[in-house]
């Protein structure tokens, strides 16, 4: 503690970056570090082939791509596929479904880990805290297939536990197939996300909370702050930067509904509310072979995501937070 | 003086964390968190119990954690079908091979990136980070995999996911914190960078190798999208695809059981396949848990 006080943070000026080893010609550098470059090669090849080739591949969004003509031979059609998307009957529905799921996600799934982390942080019995943490992390490691399967066996109309409880609760004797019904789709999807993601999401906030100086609580107590006021004035400000960073990251994924989960939960009966950009890309592209149109949909989503992430980063900085970049 | 001695204990009593209000808060908090833990675990325990119970019991009892009579017919049925055995073997092999390939690629790429003096390092790092913000998307990636002739090949389940950029950056940060003196000593003894990497760096990295091996293994084991996209041959189904087929369709059809006289325990099979697909993850969970929090935290550190 004493050393902390002795060297206030301001007193430590940012040291200038140590100068790079004197600039050498490229050839010399390659020769000198040949082993390092050799080690770098497979990884770079991976990123070029599986990340940057597909980025080049988005050019087919502006073509009428035909597999036997290839990227270079297929005719250019400009913005045709984008016009088709924006003026088509599906766009409004896709956008609405995607945005509603995103809004529900932010409202419940994004905030739940913050709340649970605050609750865990107040838990003074260490063994209890650790056991609860270990248990609520588990679903993170289960696949969406398993989560969907669990949902199915719990909600199944004929033998599902939750379906039976709902019947008792509502005094209803009809067997409702929750998995197939439009009106239950969003509730179930958000419940799944809460179950799978909440525990894991707490980790990063708990880490931020572990760094809070206990003296601050002491001081707050001296000033007469109760548990809630301590939480409000000490704990919450301490995790605000983390929340902001997580929010920026989440904003980039706003249009990402999560392909696997939604695809697994989509049935022919709930498609109207279930279909989102992610699943639509698969449906139109891989299943129906409209590669160009489907790529255009994906590109729209990707670009919107990049704009969102940089936009919210800018906003965070405007609001006096640190941001990501 | 007198006022001091009077107010001090009083103040402590009011503001101490063991006041009545504080105790109520603590109690409610514990109750809520225990409830949360139960909601997390009870569905899994119920599935385990139901997988060992008879069809009538699943249909009639709403919720139970112990079957009236332990029955293994669902497991017997599943393990008697070639489809299941094949998909289980496929998944195990793809997971094992994929894990090795992915860990090797990630660690060899992370090491040079950890060398601050390497010309071009920042460029490569930025290109990697950019892929975390923007990607070509599902269809262009699908076309690349197709053009490489990987459709219906098990490599399609491994190579497109070969390096997770988040893991790469965590491993890079880890390498940067290794003591440089050891490497320099090895270099003086005549080791080249390759030798330093294999003889000094990797042995020092055992715990982090174990961590990311498990992470990669879990990701491949759980992957549903890649086999859905790239595998059309039902003989090459993975476990996750089979789980989906069993839950969504009629189990007998999904498992293509030849012996039609044996009626499958329809619900039991669904519970049993969930247990089987989950078991390896839960088996390795304690090992995973030991390391992941640290991994997540290093990942949060900025360059």
Residue-by-residue DSSP string for A141-183: GS-HHHHHHHHHHHH-TTT-HHHHHHHHHHT--S---TTT-HH
Residue of chain A whose alpha carbon sits nearest to that of B23: A227
Candidate from A198, A226, A286 with C-beta closest to B229: A286
In contact, B128 and A47? CB cutoff 8 Å: yes
- Please check whether residues B164 and B34 belong to one and the same domain: no
Cα(B284)–Cα(B173) distance, integer angstroms: 25
- Please check whether residues B135 and B234 belong to one and the same domain: yes
Which domain, by its residues, includes B27? 23-70
Closest CA to A114 of A236, A273, A276: A236
Q: Which residues of B touch A231 (CB under 8 A)?
A: none
For an interface test with A, the pick among B95, B114, B137 (most A C-beta atoms closer than 10 Å) comes out as B137
CB-based contact, A258 to chain B, within 8 Å: no
In contact, B160 and B145? CB cutoff 8 Å: yes
- Please check whether residues B65 and B157 belong to one and the same domain: no
- Please check whether residues B30 and B87 belong to one and the same domain: no
Q: Which domains does chain A have, with CATH numbers?
A: 92-319 (1.10.3720.10)
Closest CA to A49 of B203, B4, B148, B21: B148
**A106-129 residue pLDDT tens:** 999 999 999 999 999 989 889 999
> What's the pLDDT at B297?
55
Q: Is residue B11 part of a domain?
A: no
Q: Is residue B14 part of a domain?
A: no
Q: Is residue B6 part of a domain?
A: no
Count up the domains in chain B and report the number.
2
Q: Classify A194 as helix, strand or coil.
A: helix
CA distance B188 to chain A (A): 16
Q: Phi, psi (5° rounding) for residue A76?
A: -80, 140
**A27-69 residue pLDDT tens:** 888 888 899 999 999 999 999 999 999 999 999 999 999 988 8
Cα(A139)–Cα(A113) distance, integer angstroms: 14
Q: Which residues of A touch B242 (CB under 8 A)?
A: none
Stretch 180-239 of chain B: residues touching chain A, C-beta under 8 Å:
192-194, 197, 218, 221-225, 228-229
Paired residues of A63 in beta bridges: A76
**A213-252 residue pLDDT tens:** 889 988 998 888 888 888 888 998 889 988 988 888 888 8
CA distance A285 to chain B (A): 7
> What's the pLDDT at A13?
47
Closest CA to B34 of A129, A111, A112, A113: A129
Asked if A33 and B25 come within 8 Å (Cβ–Cβ), the reply is: no
CB-based contact, A154 to chain B, within 8 Å: yes
Instruction: Record the tokens describing residue B255, joined without a space.
Output: 């498992």
CB-based contact, B132 to chain A, within 8 Å: no
Asked if B144 and A44 come within 8 Å (Cβ–Cβ), the reply is: no
- Please check whether residues B85 and B63 belong to one and the same domain: no
Q: Is residue B5 part of a domain?
A: no
In contact, B201 and B183? CB cutoff 8 Å: yes
In contact, B105 and B162? CB cutoff 8 Å: yes
Q: Is residue B16 part of a domain?
A: no
Cα(B298)–Cα(B176) distance, integer angstroms: 12
Cα angle B97-B165-A20, degrees, rounded to a multiple of 5? 120
Would you tell me the crossing angle of helices B239-248 and B206-222 to the nearest 10 degrees?
30
Cα(A103)–Cα(A269) distance, integer angstroms: 23
- Please check whether residues B162 and B32 belong to one and the same domain: no
Q: Is residue B201 part of a domain?
A: yes
Q: Which residues of A touch B50 (CB under 8 A)?
A: 153
Q: How does residue A20 score in pLDDT terms, banded at 50, 70 and 90? A: low
CB-based contact, A21 to chain B, within 8 Å: yes
- Please check whether residues B102 and B134 belong to one and the same domain: yes
Q: Which residues of B touch A255 (CB under 8 A)?
A: none
Q: Is residue B9 part of a domain?
A: no
CB-based contact, A288 to chain B, within 8 Å: no
Closest CA to A323 of B132, B131, B302, B170: B302
Q: Which residues of B touch A145 (CB under 8 A)?
A: 222, 224, 240, 243-244, 277
Neighbouring C-beta atoms of residue A257, cutoff 10 Å: 26
Candidate from A50, A204, A228 with C-beta closest to B296: A204
Neighbouring C-beta atoms of residue B84, cutoff 10 Å: 23
CA-based radius of gyration for chain B: 27
For an interface test with B, the pick among A54, A118, A156, A268 (most B C-beta atoms closer than 10 Å) comes out as A54
Does position A206 have pLDDT exceeding 50, yes or no? Answer: yes
ipTM of the prediction: 0.88
CA distance A89 to chain B (A): 22
Does position A304 have pLDDT exceeding 70, yes or no? Answer: yes
> What's the pLDDT at A161?
85
Asked if B289 and A134 come within 8 Å (Cβ–Cβ), the reply is: yes
> What's the pLDDT at B7?
41
CA-based radius of gyration for chain A: 26
Residue of chain A whose alpha carbon sits nearest to that of B42: A135
- Please check whether residues B160 and B237 belong to one and the same domain: yes
Q: Is residue B15 part of a domain?
A: no
CB-based contact, B70 to chain A, within 8 Å: no
> What's the pLDDT at A5?
42
Cα(A288)–Cα(A295) distance, integer angstroms: 13
Residue of chain B whose alpha carbon sits nearest to that of A157: B59
pTM over 0.95: no
CB-based contact, B18 to chain A, within 8 Å: no
Q: How does residue A11 score in pLDDT terms, banded at 50, 70 and 90? A: very low
- Please check whether residues B59 and B90 belong to one and the same domain: no
Candidate from B41, B225, B293 with C-beta closest to A135: B41
> What's the pLDDT at A8?
43
Neighbouring C-beta atoms of residue A76, cutoff 10 Å: 10
Q: How does residue A150 score in pLDDT terms, banded at 50, 70 and 90? A: very high
- Residue A207, judged by CB atoms within 10 A of its CB (0-12, 13-18, 19+), counts as middle
- Please check whether residues B58 and B201 belong to one and the same domain: no
Low-confidence ranges of chain B (pLDDT < 50): 1-15, 300-303
Cα(A292)–Cα(A285) distance, integer angstroms: 8
Does position A187 have pLDDT exceeding 60, yes or no? Answer: yes
In contact, B281 and A141? CB cutoff 8 Å: yes
- Please check whether residues B292 and B245 belong to one and the same domain: yes
Asked if B247 and A298 come within 8 Å (Cβ–Cβ), the reply is: no
- Please check whether residues B219 and B127 belong to one and the same domain: yes
């Amino acid at each position: 503690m004493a050393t902390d006080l002795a060297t206030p943070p301001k007193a430590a000026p940012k040291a200038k970056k140590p100068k790079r080893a004197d600039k050498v010609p490229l050839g010399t550098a390659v020769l000198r570090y040949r082993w390092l470059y050799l080690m770098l090669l497979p990884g770079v090849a991976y990123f070029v082939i599986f990340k940057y080739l597909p980025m080049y591949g988005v050019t087919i969004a502006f073509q009428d791509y035909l597999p036997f003509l290839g990227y270079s031979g297929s005719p250019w059609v400009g913005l045709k596929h984008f016009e088709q998307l924006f003026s088509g009957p599906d766009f409004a529905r896709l956008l609405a479904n995607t945005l509603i799921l995103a809004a529900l996600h932010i409202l419940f799934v994004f905030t739940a880990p913050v709340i649970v982390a605050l609750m865990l942080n107040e838990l003074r019995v260490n063994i209890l805290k650790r056991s609860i943490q270990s248990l609520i992390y588990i679903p993170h490691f289960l696949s969406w297939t398993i989560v969907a399967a669990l949902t199915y066996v719990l909600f199944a109309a004929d033998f599902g536990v939750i379906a039976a409880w709902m019947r008792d609760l509502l005094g209803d004797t009809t067997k409702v197939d929750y998995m197939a019904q439009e009106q239950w789709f969003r509730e179930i999807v958000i419940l799944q996300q809460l179950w799978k993601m909440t525990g894991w999401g707490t980790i990063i906030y708990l880490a931020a909370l572990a760094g809070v100086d206990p003296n601050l609580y002491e001081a707050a107590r001296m000033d007469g702050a109760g548990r809630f006021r301590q939480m409000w004035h000490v704990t919450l400000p301490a995790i605000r930067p983390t929340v902001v960073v997580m929010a920026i990251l989440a904003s980039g994924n706003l249009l990402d509904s999560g392909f696997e989960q939604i695809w697994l939960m989509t049935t022919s009966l709930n498609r109207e509310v279930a279909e989102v950009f992610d699943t639509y890309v698969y449906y139109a592209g891989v299943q129906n072979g409209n590669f160009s149109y489907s790529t255009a949909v994906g590109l729209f989503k990707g670009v919107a995501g990049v704009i969102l992430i940089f936009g919210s980063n800018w906003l965070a900085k405007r609001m006096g937070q640190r941001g990501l970049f | 003086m007198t006022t001091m001695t009077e107010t001090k204990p009083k103040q402590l009593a009011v503001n101490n964390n063991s006041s009545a209000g504080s105790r109520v808060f603590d109690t409610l908090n514990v109750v809520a968190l225990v409830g949360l833990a139960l909601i997390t675990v009870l569905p899994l325990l119920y599935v385990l119990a139901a997988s060992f119970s008879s069809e009538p019991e699943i249909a009639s009892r709403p919720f139970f954690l112990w079957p009236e009579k332990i029955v293994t017919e669902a497991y017997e049925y599943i393990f008697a079908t070639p489809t299941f055995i094949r998909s289980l073997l496929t998944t195990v092999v793809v997971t094992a091979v994929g894990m090795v390939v992915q860990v090797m690629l990630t660690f060899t790429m992370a090491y040079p990136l950890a060398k601050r003096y390497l010309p071009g390092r920042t460029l490569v790092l930025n290109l990697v980070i950019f892929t975390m913000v923007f990607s070509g998307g599902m269809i262009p990636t699908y076309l690349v995999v197709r053009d490489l002739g990987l459709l219906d090949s098990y490599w399609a389940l491994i190579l497109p996911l070969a390096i997770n950029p988040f893991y790469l950056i965590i491993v890079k940060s880890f390498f940067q914190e290794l003591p440089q003196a050891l490497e320099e000593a090895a270099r003086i003894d005549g080791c080249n960078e390759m030798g330093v990497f294999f003889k000094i760096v990797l042995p020092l990295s055992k715990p982090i190798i174990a961590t990311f091996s498990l992470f990669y293994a879990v990701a491949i084991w759980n992957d549903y999208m890649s086999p859905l996209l790239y595998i059309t041959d039902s003989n090459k189904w993975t476990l996750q695809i089979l789980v989906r087929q069993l839950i969504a369709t009629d189990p007998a059809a999904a498992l293509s059981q030849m012996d039609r006289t044996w009626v499958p325990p329809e619900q039991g099979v669904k519970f049993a396949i969930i247990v089987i697909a989950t078991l390896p993850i839960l088996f390795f969970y304690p090992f995973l848990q030991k390391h992941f929090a640290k991994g997540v935290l290093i990942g949060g550190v900025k360059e």
